[in-house]
Chains A and B, each alone.
Chain A
Amino acid sequence: MSRFTFGGDEHIFVEVDEAMSLEAFFTSLSMTNAVRAAGIDGVTEICPANASFQIKFDPDRIHPHALMDRLRLLEEEAGNAEAKLDTRIIEVPVFYQDPWTHETLMRFRERHQDPEGTDLEFAARINGYETVEAFIEAHAGAPWFVSMVGFVSGLPFLYQMVDRSRQIQVPKYLRPRTDTPKQTVGYGGSFSCIYSVRGAGGYQMFGITPMTIYDPRQEVPYLKDFMVFFRPGDIVKWRPIGRTEYDRIIEDMQAGRFEPRMRYVVFSLDDFNADLDGTNARLMEALYAD
């Protein structure tokens, strides 16, 4: 059972589970979908998160307790829904060990657990990988679920689609940095992220993507409809690239030629739980079929 609590007189916060899991994420996502479909008067914002969600409402239009009762009823209905998702799978090119995040991580070394190494060396070692290359292979090997979009402008949090024993876990910086390059691919706890804008951050820095994911001016062709690229439920496949390809994609981005590789897929949590590697392989087939 989820835990329902008020965030003041304008929010209801629902914790599906204290711990992260794909099950908790799916429950949260299906409950927020149910709330949206219910079209409750007075509900103003519906925000899904990793293993919880939040509803903002106008208490002048609906009494907080009345809304709480409605949400509890919706939980029962959502519980019966099949954990299936029509979604997108997207390839995101990543330049691991790039010069820009390297320069930044060296500047903030005294805030790190391992001042002598790099973020990737630290992450590889504590996760039991012999080399940084083997660690990158694990990070880029299996696909990831966008389990939350937020913190700041369109920043996706991603959760790795492997069983828990194979998941990468890395603590955040001891003290947050005051700077992170835009489009840094980061890692904290059991989540990867892409910093959508330059700014403060506490996640370990693994690399950088040349792909624009937030464009307030909406000049990038694939962000013409909306300035934020990611949505909760998207599936992401990282593709390691080197400097030459990075530079070429940046050039394409600037010329308005770049289009992310993206396909529409149906994801079933039951199928995934029954056969993780098989499901992931089929997702890769869908992404690279043509």
Chain B
Amino acid sequence: MPIEVISAGIMTTIQDLGRPGFYHLGIPMGGAMDRFALRTANLLVGNDEGAAGLESAFLGPELEFTEDATVAVCGAELPPRIDGEQMPTWTALGVRKGQVVSFDFLESGARAYIAVSGGIDTPPALGSRSTYPIGALGGVDGRAVQPGDSLPLGAASGTARPGKSVPDALRRLPGSSAELRVLPGLYWHRITEGAQQGFFDDTWMVANEADRMGYRFKGGRQLEFVPREQPYSAGSNPSNITDACYPYGSIQVPNGTEPIVLHRDAVSGGGYFMLGTVVSADMDLIGQLQPNTPTRFARVAMDVALAARRDRSAMLDRIRETTA
């Protein structure tokens, strides 16, 4: 039985944990920008962690339920209402047939994850329901959710217990400023030592061009390049390279001006040098940054990146225990 979409917010898409395996053909893995939040929301409503839910950026949708269900909203602080009554985030909420779920204005973060018991059951494309609008894959006919859509639900597990919530200590909320840990590499050698230092010293601001493909940052100093004769086919700008693959989380700086961190819907390659890569443990956080958030990049080594990854994984284990 479906959920009827009354309004869709600014950008609400169906997302799960993505479709790895096709990046070599320019099809990115996609999936929830904040995977931790989607997994948590799914656990609260008794779903598999990878079930498809809604990712709403900045403004929530309005949804009418045509059957009883359990709902949870995690990630950004986007407080839900059920038939107008205010409800908590990070909590399993019982919704009855005919009720409408709506949202207050965003209080913090950027993307809320709305999980529904049974999961959204639109047809998968290449093994995932995640919406990739550029390639017209997943979601509803390959696009974002629109008013008038009916979103089918899968069979609920029956294990959801409305009222269950995630303890405050385990909620991951973005602060008023952010730090992203970066492993220098890739074409790091293309910029001068001064520029390398400056990149980490400066405070950058999230620019308005911040979406599922990538996050742009502005306000830091222009990067200076090590002079060289440009290699054949690389293009004339010193920030150009022979077109190559782009890692998820890699930081390209076209013309040395504004860094762009590629995210889940990344373009798979292109001709800009990259100075390093945001560690995997901090990728979720990027999806919660609002434009104009002051951001510092922190230089780390591989052992720190791996330790951070283990910490994230341990935190998710605790969520699994508390929601079991």
| Residues of A in contact with B (beta carbons under 8 Å apart) | 5-11, 13, 15, 17-21, 44-54, 56, 59-60, 64-65, 148-155, 157, 164, 169, 171-172, 188-191, 196-197, 199, 214, 216-217, 227-228, 232
Contacts and interface: CB of A to CB of B under 8 A. Distances in A.
B269 A45 contact: no
A6 B302 contact: yes
The 5 A-B residue pairs whose C-beta atoms are closest, nearest first, are A7-B247, A8-B277, A20-B233, A54-B245, A153-B135
Contacts of A18: 231, 234, 241-242
A8 B305 contact: yes
Nearest to B276: A8
A214 B234 CA distance: 27
30 contacts: A7-B185, A7-B186, A7-B247, A8-B250, A8-B277, A9-B279, A9-B280, A9-B305, A11-B250, A13-B185, A13-B186, A18-B231, A19-B231, A44-B20, A44-B21, A47-B23, A49-B244, A50-B244, A56-B247, A56-B248, A59-B280, A153-B26, A153-B27, A153-B134, A154-B26, A157-B243, A169-B233, A191-B233, A216-B135, A228-B22
Contact of A189 (B20, B234, B268, B305): B234
Given A189-B233, A228-B25, A6 B277 contact: yes
Contacts of A49: 243-245, 269
A214 B142 CA distance: 14
B161 to A, nearest CB: 30
Contacts of A20: 231-234, 242
A216 B306 CA distance: 36
A47 B245 contact: yes
Interface residues of B, number: 50
B137 interface: yes
B43 interface: no
A275 B315 CA distance: 61
A10 B20 CA distance: 13
Interface in B264-318: 267-271, 274, 276-280, 302, 305-306, 309, 313
B26 A172 contact: no
A130 to B, nearest CB: 25
Interface string B220-239: 00000000000111111000
Given A9-B305, A152-B26, 17 more contacts: A6-B277, A8-B183, A9-B280, A9-B302, A9-B309, A17-B242, A18-B231, A18-B241, A45-B24, A49-B269, A50-B243, A56-B23, A65-B302, A148-B269, A153-B26, A154-B25, A190-B232
Contacts of A164: 232
Most buried by A among B142, B241, B249, B268: B268
Given A9-B305, A45-B21, A191-B243, A150 B235 contact: no
Contacts of A227: 126
Interface of B: 20-27, 125-126, 134-137, 142, 183, 185-186, 188, 231-236, 241-245, 247-250, 267-271, 274, 276-280, 302, 305-306, 309, 313
A47 B243 CA distance: 13
A51 B242 contact: yes
Contacts of A9: 183, 279-280, 302, 305-306, 309
B247 A19 contact: no
Contact of B245 (A10, A150, A190): A150
B202 to A, nearest CB: 21
A190 B236 CA distance: 12
A150 B268 contact: yes
Contacts of B135: 152-153, 197, 214, 216
B279 A15 contact: no
